[in-house]
Amino acid sequence: YFDSETTIFLEEWHVIKTALAHKAFQPTSIAHQNFLRETLKKLEKLKAKVDIEAELKEIQLQLLPISE
């Protein structure tokens, strides 16, 4: 009963909420940090549609500085 835009949003949001619920065994690993960065990109895409400040902060707190 939702229009296609809402259905697409709900699918995207489900993926993000699942990612946010993920608990890492090694939060400082490169793989997990990459996972966080990809999740952050997905959140940024939704920023114009909904208030996701809390979710953005949650991810940003877990990110480690990139070392070169």
Query: Are 43 and 59 a contacting pair, CB within 8 Å?
Result: yes
Q: Are 37 and 64 in contact (CB under 8 A)?
A: no
pTM, rounded to two decimals = 0.83
- Answer whether 12's CB lies under 8 Å from 46's CB: yes
- Give per-residue pLDDT as tens, 9-68: 999 999 999 999 999 999 999 999 999 999 999 999 999 889 999 999 999 999 998 765
Q: Do residues 40 and 60 lie in contact, with contact meaning Cβ atoms separated by under 8 Å?
A: yes
